[in-house]
Amino acid sequence: DGGITQSPKYLFRKEGQNVTLSCEQNLNHDAMYWYRQDPGQGLRLIYYSQIVNDFQKGDIAEGYSVSREKKESFPLTVTSAQKNPTAFYLCASVGWGLLNQPQHFGDGTRLSIL
Amino acid sequence: AQTVTQSQPEMSVQEAETVTLSCTYDTSESDYYLFWYKQPPSRQMILVIRQEAYKQQNATENRFSVNFQKAAKSFSLKISDSQLGDAAMYFCAYRSANGGGADGLTFGKGTHLIIQP
């Protein structure tokens, strides 16, 4: 079945440590996205990529980095510069040119501080 | 920048009754897309319904329908014959039609819907 796979489901970060969240899709979608969800808040856009080797900052990109070396993969690194990384992270994708199509979401990764 | 406002943090409805969730948005664009997503306790994001701004007809999907008022920038969700499985967080989301439609979504803060048996 086609879909988006996020791993791991739970992740713990120590002080000063960088951690990487994985997002893989087999939907042949061009555009991929990372969102952060905090309690009482909606999802907020961190980064997005419309094509391979290109990506743009979203509303809350500080303390995060991404890469898009392959169409199916869009990993998110939470760096030590992100002082409040505890949140639920969701990856999404959509096909290029499918303007009225919704984004498909993965099941998310919950990141906590040790 | 666009903003999406959901003014009801929590709503409660009796099973089998009808409930309406409110959403307003602010944009200077004329062409865009609006979505309602459901997030149950499993945290999955599930599409409920979508609306293209250029379409005057309100979208419907079985028990779910929207009241789209473009001039008022309002996009409310009506759930008819509420069922226990409808209990979840509901998010309203906006996407610009510019940039090939590949821009990210702008979400409201959500409405927690409780279904009373």
Q: Looking at residue B1, what is its pLDDT?
A: 78
Q: What is the pLDDT of residue A41?
A: 82
The DSSP letter of residue B55 is: -
Q: What is the mean pLDDT of residues A43-71?
A: 95
Closest CA to B105 of A84, A108, A74, A94: A94
Q: In DSSP terms, which residues pair with A21 in a beta bridge? A: A76
**Between chains, do A100 and B109 touch, taking CB under 8 Å as contact?**
no
Residue B8 near residue B111 (C-beta atoms within 8 A): yes
CA atoms within 13 A on the CB side of B48: 25
Rounded distance between C-alpha atoms, residue B29 and residue B89, angstroms: 27
C-beta atoms of A42 and B99 within 8 A: no
Which of A42, A97, A100 is facing B33, going by the closest CB pair? A100
Alpha carbon of B87 to those of A66, A112, B114: distances in Å?
A: 34, 27, 5
User: Do B35 and A102 count as a contact with CB atoms less than 8 A apart?
Assistant: yes
Residue B7: pLDDT band with limits 50, 70, 90: very high
Token duo for residue A98:
């499918």
Q: Is the pLDDT of residue B26 over 60?
A: yes
B109 close contact with A: CB closer than 8 A? yes
Give pLDDT tens digits for B72-83. Answer: 999 999 999 999
Sign of CA dihedral A106, A112, B4, B6: positive
pLDDT of residue A114: 81
Question: Is B97 in CB contact (< 8 Å) with chain A?
Answer: yes
At A63, is the pLDDT very low, low, confident or very high (cuts 50, 70, 90)?
very high
pLDDT at A100: 64
Separation between Cα atoms, residue A20 and residue A78, nearest integer Å:
6
Give the pLDDT confidence of B30-58 residue by residue, as tens digits.
989 999 999 999 999 999 999 999 888 99
pLDDT attached to residue A99: 57
pLDDT band for B100, please (50, 70, 90 cuts): low
pLDDT (0 to 100) of residue A46: 97
CA distances from A12 to A8, A97, B39, B59, B69 (A): 10, 37, 23, 42, 44
Per-residue pLDDT, A96: 67
Q: Are the C-beta atoms of B21 and B6 separated by less than 8 Å?
A: yes
The encoded tokens of residue B92 equal 């309203």
**Measured distance CA(B76)–CA(B66) in Å, rounded:** 5
